[in-house]
Chain A
């Protein structure tokens, strides 16, 4: 007894507690999921509203404060959610550090860039309206 070679790595790790940095990530994944339930349903509503409204109609839609704020939240929360989701996929399938690290950095860059461009564009249209381009 006590010979560690009989124990599996899992049994050695068991009972030592968490690494203390996984819980916040777990909660963020679930919190963004819950937030995206109403936001994605609103996105469908918004898409239907502007689908035949043209440039002027789409601009007017985003000038409503409620629509502008929901559009900003939709883009920001989706960018966070998809960054975490794609990170899990990369960590599941890409194991070599020389490909995993660039893939994780690229994922972060795409999500932050898309989030920032989307939020800035919505705010520009919401605050300045048509004709400010």
Chain B
């Protein structure tokens, strides 16, 4: 009631501040929240990932010595760590993307379903990336 009175006193046409959601720090941690943040974070990681892929294509077009340097950098411990992070990001972002396509069609919003698909997306991202790396080392061996 007091809120309405306060609004009525505001000058006509004045732009009222939009309602604010509570600050990040006072939210209770929840898996669906982590899934949302991780979707955006892995998207940013994959932005860098495409730049690395383009770097590979460019060095391949430049010739064997440039491509050799690229493969040496990517095969170094730091390079492999980055590649593993990108593999996790690809698979997580893929699962999260499918989850969001389901959300767009109005499905998967029940709390139990949303929690389960969030956990499943994290699990898929990590397990699939490990499987790909095991595959990569088996090709080598």
Query: Is B82's beta carbon under 8 Å from chain A?
Result: no
B12-28 at interface with A (beta carbon < 8 Å): 12-13, 15-16, 18
For chain A, what secondary structure do more than half of its interface residues adopt (helix, strand, loop), or is it mixed? helix
Which of under 10, 10 to 19, 20 to 34, or 35 or more describes the interface residues of B? 35 or more
Please judge, given known A-B contacts A5-B10, A8-B16, A55-B68, whether A62 and B136 are in contact too, CB under 8 Å: no
Q: Which residue from A51, A82, A125 sits with its C-beta under 8 Å from B61? A: A125
Judge whether A122 and B50 touch: CB under 8 Å.
Answer: no
Please judge, given known A-B contacts A8-B16, A44-B132, whether A122 and B57 are in contact too, CB under 8 Å: yes
Chain A nearest CB, measured from B93 CB (Å): 8
Q: Determine the chain B residues whose CB is within 8 A of the CB of A62 once the complex forms.
A: 60
Q: Determine the chain B residues whose CB is within 8 A of the CB of A8 once the complex forms.
A: 16
Query: Is A117's beta carbon under 8 Å from chain B?
Result: yes
Chain A nearest CB, measured from B116 CB (Å): 20
Query: Is A58's beta carbon under 8 Å from chain B?
Result: yes
